Amino acid sequence: MYLNRALIYGHITRDPELKSLPSGIQVCSFSVATNRVWKNKDGTKQEAVDYHNVVVFGRQAETVAQYMRKGSSIMVEGRIQTRSWDKPDGSKAYRTEIVADMTQFGPKSQRSESVEPQETPQDDPIEATDNVNPDDIPF
Looking at the chain, how many residues does it have? 139
In a domain, residue 58? The reply is: yes
CB–CB of 54/29 below 8 Å?
Answer: yes
Q: For residue 134, tell me if it sits in a domain.
A: no
Indicate which CATH number applies to the domain containing 105: 2.40.50.140
Q: Is residue 115 part of a domain?
A: no
The pLDDT, as a whole number, for residue 123 is 52
Q: Is 118 within the bounds of a domain?
A: no
Q: What is the pLDDT of residue 113?
A: 40
In this prediction, residue 115 carries a pLDDT of 45
- Beta strand residue intervals within 14-131, DSSP E: 17-20, 26-39, 45-57, 73-86, 92-105
Instruction: Quote the number of domains for the chain.
Output: 1
Give pLDDT tens digits for 75-107. 999 999 999 999 999 999 999 999 999 999 988
Task: Show the low-confidence residues of the chain (pLDDT under 70).
Answer: 109-139
- Tell me, yes or no, whether 133 lies in a domain: no
**Torsion sign across C-alpha atoms 11, 13, 16, 22:** negative
61: containing domain:
6-109
For residue 46, tell me if it sits in a domain. yes
Q: Please tell me the distance from the alpha carbon of residue 45 to that of residue 30, in angstroms, as a whole number.
A: 29
